Amino acid sequence: MTSFNFILCALFVIPQISLSSDDCRAILQSAGATKEFGGRVGHAIHSLSVRNLKQFKPDVNETNQVPTVNLNLTSDIPILSYAPDRTTPDSHMFLLDGSIILDEILSHMDDKSYNLKNYNPLEQIVHTFHMEEMWASALIDYRNFEVDPPADEVCQCVMDIENNGILMKLRQTALIIREPNLMLGYGQERAERRCSENASSPGCSFFKSIGKSLPPLNSAKAWKRWKMDSGAMKGKDTALFLYCALNNNNGSNKNFKNIEWNQKYHY
Ligand SMILES: *[C@@H]1O[C@H](CO)[C@@H](O)[C@H](O)[C@H]1NC(C)=O
Ligand SMILES: *[C@@H]1O[C@H](CO)[C@@H](O)[C@H](O)[C@H]1NC(C)=O
Ligand SMILES: *[C@@H]1O[C@H](CO)[C@@H](O)[C@H](O)[C@H]1NC(C)=O
Ligand SMILES: *[C@@H]1O[C@H](CO)[C@@H](O)[C@H](O)[C@H]1NC(C)=O
């Protein structure tokens, strides 16, 4: 994998006509994105893998432009510039996606520094299926974008992850995954305020799930609480991002070698 990514370092960024953040906000909303575009997309894409992306576009490989959180929690690189291939050499034994997902998770079950820290294998499985639900929902909207693609200008704003909130959300997600004890309750106040104003506002259940309110998954009663956060969420923002990331020829120069990419976004 390392040597494979090394090849990518030869590619450089070609500046495009830059659109301001304000322009982009308006452009994204006129393309059907919600006001929470960056946060929603950052959350939805953080654990995507090549296997998932192949459902959107069959020829996707690790040379893709979908940034993700590194599930290897001891790596110096918290955010990857691409969605990795997480299948194991045994994946071919399985016909069902569900079995492949179990194989991907359980093959790391002895590694406490992989995937969500403090989550036991059952909780990791639930979290992964929650994400799979989200991608299944995004796939429906993605098919519509294939028929009626967004304009170049829209994709330029979609791929400007430094300014549209996607990278910020990925960083926050990486922190929560790596240091759950330090991040306990993070976002809780805002979520509580928002949820008391309107219990169905977007992101409400996700923010709640970060705090103490999510019990260990060891009883049917606890599952009832987990289930609240586990269903599909509206996928249009994510579909828009994935359409641009997987089909945007202009952006193909954005495949940085990981180290360079992380330095670029370091401050
Ligand atoms: C991976 O995908 C990229 C971009 O679509 C393509 O240029 C490249 O040839 C592919 N690599 C392999 C090994 O298939
Ligand atoms: C995670 O990263 C560390 C440090 O780079 C490395 O030693 C370890 O093998 C990696 N673990 C996995 C599962 O790739
Ligand atoms: C609450 O949020 C939902 C989802 O965004 C929205 O459809 C609904 O109109 C909101 N209700 C109020 C009273 O603002
Ligand atoms: C690439 O971007 C430039 C400038 O942003 C635009 O004029 C051109 O149409 C784009 N080409 C493709 C293939 O998207």
Closest residue by Cα to atom 2, ligand 4, is 250
* Contact (Cβ atoms closer than 8 angstroms) between residue 253 and residue 62: no
Lowest-confidence range among 9-23, 170-184, 196-210, 215-229? 9-23
Question: Which ligand ends up closest to the CA of 57?
Answer: 1
* Average pLDDT, integer, range 171-199: 76
Lowest-confidence range among 53-62, 86-95, 116-125, 133-142? 116-125
Q: Exposure string (b/e) for 80-108, b if CB count within 10 Å is 16 or more?
A: bbbbbbbbeeebeeeeeeeebbbbbbebb
Confidence at residue 180, expressed as pLDDT on a 0 to 100 scale? 76
Q: How far apart are CA 234 and CA 81, in angstroms?
A: 25
Closest residue by Cα to atom 2, ligand 3, is 201
* Average pLDDT, integer, range 173-195: 74
- Could you tell me the pLDDT band of residue 233, with boundaries at 50, 70 and 90? low
Query: The pTM is what?
Result: 0.79
Q: How far apart are CA 33 and CA 46, in angstroms?
A: 19
Dihedral over Cα of 181, 186, 192, 197: its sign: negative
* Contact (Cβ atoms closer than 8 angstroms) between residue 9 and residue 257: yes
Report whether residue 201 contacts ligand 3, using a CB cutoff of 6 Å: yes
CA of 172 to the centre of ligand 3 (A): 25
**Residue found under tokens 């894409």:** 45
CA of 181 to the centre of ligand 2 (A): 22
CA of 110 to the centre of ligand 4 (A): 47
Q: Which of 31-35, 52-56, 115-119 has the highest mean pLDDT?
A: 52-56
- Could you tell me the pLDDT band of residue 5, with boundaries at 50, 70 and 90? very low
Which residues approach ligand 1 with their CB closer than 6 A?
Answer: 61, 63
Burial class of 20 by CB neighbour count within 10 A (0 to 12, 13 to 18, 19+): exposed
Q: How far apart are CA 263 and CA 267, in angstroms?
A: 8
Domain ranges of the chain: 20-184+236-257
Closest residue by Cα to atom 11, ligand 2, is 72
User: pLDDT tens-digit profile of 49-108?
Assistant: 999 999 999 999 998 999 999 999 999 889 998 999 999 999 999 999 999 999 999 999
* Average pLDDT, integer, range 109-128: 90
Confidence at residue 203, expressed as pLDDT on a 0 to 100 scale? 60
Which ranges in the chain belong to alpha helices (H)?
A: 2-6, 21-30, 37-45, 50-56, 97-106, 121-147, 152-158, 166-178, 188-197, 204-210, 220-228, 236-247, 258-264
- Could you tell me the pLDDT band of residue 257, with boundaries at 50, 70 and 90? low
CA of 151 to the centre of ligand 4 (A): 10
- Could you tell me the pLDDT band of residue 24, with boundaries at 50, 70 and 90? very high
Mean pLDDT of the chain: 82
